[in-house]
Each structure stands twice: as C-alpha cells, then as structure tokens.
Amino acid sequence: MIKYRDFMSLSNSEIEFIINDIFKPDKIKTIQRDYSYKEIRVTILWHWDNNEKVEDELILKEDTIDCPFQKTADDSRKYIQYLFSKGVHELFKNNPYLAEE
C-alpha cells in the first residue's frame, strides 16, 4: 500500500530515474536540495541538433518542473504520475481511507 511521502525525501536515484525518463539528458551533473523552498535543483548536460553542448538547470517542485525550455503536457503528466506512484501527493497525507487490509 502506498503511504504519504514528503517530496524532499526522494532519493538521488529516484530523481535521476524520472529526469532520464522524461528528458533523456547526456548527463545529470548535480542534484541539490533547497529545504527552505522545498525544491530540488538538477543540473543536466545535453546537446541539441547542432551538437552544441548545453547545460540547463531544472527546478523540481511537488507539482511541477520549472525549466528554461518548453516541456510538453505529457512530460508534466509523467512527472506527476511518477511522484504519485512514490506516494508524493497531498491526497495521501493523513488520509483516513488508506488503511491496511
């Protein structure tokens, strides 16, 4: 059974999994947690069609990914689905209907 989990408790490997699944970067350079703003900053390295290497910073939040480029609605949906599958969603918090059977 899924139980509520705080967003900031995601492990580096869980973060790497979803970033690789959605964006497919060449490399994830850094993962930094900012507990005061409750966000996770991920620096990725990838290349565009002209083979120019680009470094971008993604800001992961509990309900979205902020990034300096356009992401698709499917990207956003995958991210929310992934967090939900890990128990990172307010609907799981103090939910009296989630009882062990």
| Per-residue model confidence as pLDDT tens digits over 26-71 | 999 999 999 999 999 999 999 877 778 899 999 999 999 999 998 9
pTM: 0.89
Helices (H) and strands (E) in the chain, counts: 2, 4
pLDDT of residue 48: 75
Q: Is residue 43 part of a domain?
A: yes
pLDDT of residue 45: 96
Q: For the chain, what is the domain count?
A: 1
- What is the C-alpha to C-alpha distance for residues 91 and 88, in angstroms, rounded to an integer? 9
- DSSP tag of 61: -
| Residue-number span of the structural domain to which 45 is assigned | 7-92
Q: Is residue 41 part of a domain?
A: yes
Q: What does the pLDDT look like over 1-27, one tens digit per residue?
A: 788 999 999 999 999 999 999 999 999
Q: Is residue 98 part of a domain?
A: no
| Average pLDDT over all residues of the chain | 93
Q: Is residue 2 part of a domain?
A: no
CA dist 50 → 26, 46, 55, 58 (Å): 15, 11, 14, 22
